[in-house]
Amino acid sequence: MGAKNLARANYISSELLGRKRETVEIVTEEPIENIMKEVETDTTIDRHEVMDMCEELLNEPLHALDHDYALKGLKFAFDSNMPPQMVALDASQAWMVYWIANSMQVFNETTIDEENKRKMVEKLFLMSEDKGPFSGGEGQLPHIASTYAAVNALALCDNFDNCWDQLDRKAIYKWLLSLKQTDGGFTTCNPVGERDIRGVYCALSVASLLNIMTDELIEGVLEYLQKCQTFEGGFGATLLQDEAHGGYTFCAVASLCILNKLHTINVEKLMEWCSARQYNEEMGLCGRGNKLVDGCYSFWVGSTAAMIEATTGVECINKQALRKYILNCCQSTTGISLRDKPGKNGDFYHTNYVLMGLAITESTFKYKMEPNKKSPFDLVSIPSTTEDKPSDLSSINPIYGLPSDVVRKFHKHFV
Amino acid sequence: MGFQYNIKDYDDVAVLPLVHDGEEDSELCRIMYSEEYKQVMSLVRALLTENELSIRALNLTSKAIELSPAFYSVWNYRYRILEHLLQEETLLQNGHDASYLLNKELDWLDEFTLNNPKNYQIWSYRQALLTNLHHHATFIREQPIMELMIDDDSKNYHVWSYRKWCCSHFRTYGHELAFTEKYIDRDVYNNSAWSHRLSVLKQCDVDFDQELGYIKGKIEYVPQNISTWTYLRALFESHSTPAKLVDELLIFTSQFLDESSYALEFFAYLNSLPEVNKPQTAIDAYTTLATKADPIRKNLWDHKIQLLQHS
């Protein structure tokens, strides 16, 4: 970049992207349980802001989940057009359908009515004219994340109008193979796509649900996944030892569970990493070391903990505390119902993952079968008896991010 | 034709609207597109259908991407256009020079990137460009944009990940220690910077004792910091003869047991090792963690205690 461009870039950076804070070093003593010294930096300034907002809400008695309010918002979304600013999701339209429909289904299996199912199927097949792989919207290129979201959304349609039978599974299989990389990973799209662990998870999720898994498809995948575990214990995005992150860790662990290979990585370290995501003060989960709590990690990390629990019998997070964070801090009384944290607006992404996170906190997880035959479809979620006033949500299969009975029925259809 | 989007350049194009774009449509979650968006995307669809790989198509993708940064199909189209424009024949025909085109593209990307810090597509596009189309790319050319982006958002996952890719792609690791130090000095809690540092350590040919001194200094500066203790543990585990280090680290860690739960955790871990073999000391430390220092993680501490009791 020349001097002129650099100056311009600097201008954009400071003027358009917000200010930069200088580091001020002040040693403060916080009146929390342990008096631990801390230095004031961006990290601690941001965290204290969040802690302050959570504190008041966490001091209140446990809130109840407002079913009516949340469901009203979800139904409204299905019956309305999206405002122009939602153009940001123009290339991820299947996600929108999945987030909303899944949230409805997690509330109650009868909330998606026949008319909604008809509209969902119609909309989803707009993204896949040939009923093969799905794209982000009409006339777009097939994309692995869109295919994942669309297949999950179709699973929620309960074979309405034989939509399950209409899927061209051969075409999906062939296309998944075309995304496979020599290192064992998958790209999201051809010719230009992202090559990270999300691709692996989306491919394995779709292939296992549709019963199109082959040795050829999963060749090298296990080694790829194993190499993505980092020194922190969680998983990074790629083979280059990226920072351990809640979203990528979920993708890795769910993929390993699909392959029944979770025991081949360092599970002990993974447990430590998951557990370290929970803060004493906010009670919720963050996605990386020294980052802020965010309701969506109630699923990404919570679900990882649930898979570990099913595999080892050890609960590595505090579900009751997480439940308190979700119920007291993640419910919004205006707009869309569930949110990242106090001070943020709700959205459908957070509604889906916060809600599934809540379902996880009210359940225990195990496998039905003997240990050496763990199939992702035999991971069962049992309502825990310790919670007072449970939120009455569907039980979740943490591997697929869908209600357990939906996963069972959908998979069985293709066996 | 210049490299600017101008609607007049597309007067002759028969636009291709979405099939399901009518008001009467009962489509689920239909986005109410702005008129400008509809117009630009209808032009994109039209040119894409004709597979037009021209300068004006390139300019159109700039506009479309500006309106919808995550629209990966347009990024893919742009890539194919550029690929075509860079072919010798096309270069001759258009009177262009390959490096001129590529620099222009990188400049455009830089500016776009600064305005879209959370976008996924930029980086994979950039990687594809540098891997397949740009034969004289350098690490140096990539540095300013990475630095500006991390200056602005010091934990931006995509940028740190891209930086790792650049190091690996260009086999250039010489800047990394100073680079991570800059961000660690600014914010010692920056886990992205610590994680990056550890991931390149082997390639940086660092003196082990010097690095050990560095991390100890950062722990002394702020003892209650998960990033530094995790880093210390990784450094310890990477050492060829960790047994020799254990005593030194036990003494070092003991200083911070009252002021850092992470010190307590590392202390318990060291005492659980066969080289030390003091399970009761470890159990006591885990008990303190479970009851006082880090009670929300009680489940994990209880699990650790159980492991020790059963071994």
Residue A24 reports pLDDT greater than 80:
no
Q: Is residue B21 part of a domain?
A: yes
Say what the pLDDT of residue B71 is. 96
- For chain A, what is the mean pLDDT? 91
Say what the pLDDT of residue A387 is. 67
How many whole angstroms separate alpha carbon A31 and alpha carbon A48? 12
Would you place residue A10 in the very low, low, confident or very high pLDDT band (cuts 50, 70, 90)?
low
As a whole number of Å, the end-to-end CA separation of chain A is 57
No. of helices (H) and no. of strands (E), chain B:
16, 0
CA A187, A205, A392, A293 torsion: positive or negative? negative
Say what the pLDDT of residue A254 is. 98
Is A78 buried (19+), middle (13-18) or exposed (0-12) by CB count in 10 A?
buried
Higher pLDDT, B224 or A22: B224
How many whole angstroms separate alpha carbon A12 and alpha carbon B8? 29
The tens digit of pLDDT for each residue in B212-249 reads: 999 999 999 999 999 999 999 999 999 887 788 999 99
The tens digit of pLDDT for each residue in A138-182 reads: 999 999 999 999 999 999 999 999 999 999 999 999 999 999 999
Residue A303 reports pLDDT greater than 70:
yes
How many whole angstroms separate alpha carbon A254 and alpha carbon A257? 5
Which of A9, A20, A86 minimises the CB distance to B31? A86
Strand, coil or helix: what is A379?
Answer: strand
Q: Is residue B43 part of a domain?
A: yes
Say what the pLDDT of residue B5 is. 93
Say what the pLDDT of residue A111 is. 81
CB spacing of B115 vs A194 below 8 angstroms: no
Q: Is B36 on the interface with A (CB under 8 A)?
A: no
Q: Is B163 on the interface with A (CB under 8 A)?
A: no
Which of A23, A35, A291 minimises the CB distance to B155? A291
Q: What is the ipTM of this complex?
A: 0.96
Q: pTM here? A: 0.94
Q: Is residue B262 part of a domain?
A: no
Would you place residue B22 in the very low, low, confident or very high pLDDT band (cuts 50, 70, 90)?
low
CB atoms within 10 A of CB B172: 16
Q: Is residue B108 part of a domain?
A: no
In the chain, the amino acid numbered A152 is N
- Chain A positions touching B67 (Cβ under 8 A) are 87
Residue A4 reports pLDDT greater than 60:
no
Q: Is residue B169 part of a domain?
A: no
Number of domains in chain B: 1
Closest CA to B194 of A245, A46, A43, A289: A289
How many whole angstroms separate alpha carbon A399 and alpha carbon A303? 7
Say what the pLDDT of residue B23 is. 56
Taking only residues 112 to 151 of chain B, the set having a beta carbon closer than 8 angstroms to any beta carbon of chain A reads: 114-115, 117, 120-121, 123-125, 128, 141, 144-145, 148, 151
How many whole angstroms separate alpha carbon B161 and alpha carbon A237? 8
Would you place residue A21 in the very low, low, confident or very high pLDDT band (cuts 50, 70, 90)?
very low
The tens digit of pLDDT for each residue in B37-95 reads: 999 999 999 999 999 999 999 999 999 999 999 999 999 999 999 999 999 999 999 99
Q: Is residue B124 part of a domain?
A: no
Choose, out of A27, A93, A232, the residue to mutate when testing the contact with B (most B CBs < 10 Å).
A232
Cβ contacts of A30 within 8 Å, gap of 6 or more: A36, A38
Rounded average pLDDT over A56-63 = 97
Residue in A189, A296, A316, A330 annotated catalytic: A296
In the chain, the amino acid numbered A175 is W
Cβ contacts of B277 within 8 Å, gap of 6 or more: none
Q: Is residue B42 part of a domain?
A: yes
User: Can A294 be counted among the known catalytic residues?
Assistant: yes
* Shortest Cα distance, chain B CAs vs residue A219, angstroms: 24
Closest CA to B109 of B58, B157, B152, B155: B58
Please check whether residue B172 is in contact with residue B204, taking contact to mean a CB–CB distance below 8 angstroms. no
Which of B123, B154, B225 minimises the CB distance to A42? B154
How many whole angstroms separate alpha carbon B226 and alpha carbon B222? 10
The tens digit of pLDDT for each residue in B291-311 reads: 999 999 999 999 999 999 998
Closest CA to A253 of A296, A294, A210, A204: A204
Q: Is residue B45 part of a domain?
A: yes
Please check whether residue A221 is in contact with residue A259, taking contact to mean a CB–CB distance below 8 angstroms. yes
Which domain does B26 fall in, by range? Answer: 1-94
- Chain B positions touching A10 (Cβ under 8 A) are 148
Say what the pLDDT of residue A17 is. 46
CB spacing of B226 vs A193 below 8 angstroms: no
